[in-house]
Amino acid sequence: MKMREKFAMGILGIALAMALAAAPTRVAAQDKQHVVSLDELNNDAARPAQTRQANEAVVRELLSTDAGQEALKSAKVDYQRVDKAIGQLSDEDLAKFAERSRQAEGDFAAGGLKSTLIIVIILIVVLIVVLTLVF
């Protein structure tokens, strides 16, 4: 019986010595700098949501202009309905509409588009948004 106790104590002693020897190694491994920092990971995770918000803002801004409001009235479409539809678009569709909105605003600001043409572009965007949600 005493032999078993001595053997068990020896095993426990070896296990304790190994655990103490490995402890500094684990701490040193945790202190090393990772390839990608936590801030970078957080920024990368937040980027799609920020992009979507920016795209929604661009489309809504175009629709809230005088030309946009005029286009909505001529199409007999309620802004609230279109606004709700914008929030339901896929990220890909929203990105396309935002790019078209940016181009239209840029061309209009540069004098390349007349107000009637911008109204037509806005109507097309509104129709696509509504049709996207219906189908």
- Domain residue extents for the chain: 41-134
At residue 116, the pLDDT reads 67
Write the pLDDT tens digit of every residue in 91-125: 998 898 888 888 877 776 677 656 666 677 777 77
At residue 57, the pLDDT reads 93
Q: What is the 3-state secondary structure (H, E, C) of the chain?
A: CHHHHHHHHHHHHHHHHHHHHHHHHHHHHHHCCCCCCHHHHHHHHHHHHHHHHHHHHHHHHHHHCHHHHHHHHHCCCCHHHHHHHHHHCCHHHHHHHHHHHHHHHHHHHCCCCCHHHHHHHHHHHHHHHHHHHHC
Q: Does 20 have pLDDT greater than 70?
A: no
Q: Does 22 have pLDDT greater than 70?
A: no
At residue 53, the pLDDT reads 93
Write the pLDDT tens digit of every residue in 29-82: 555 666 777 888 888 888 888 999 999 999 888 888 887 788 778 778 788 888
CA–CA separation, 79 and 76 (whole Å) = 9
At residue 54, the pLDDT reads 94
Is the separation of the CB atoms in 102 and 94 below 8 Å?
no
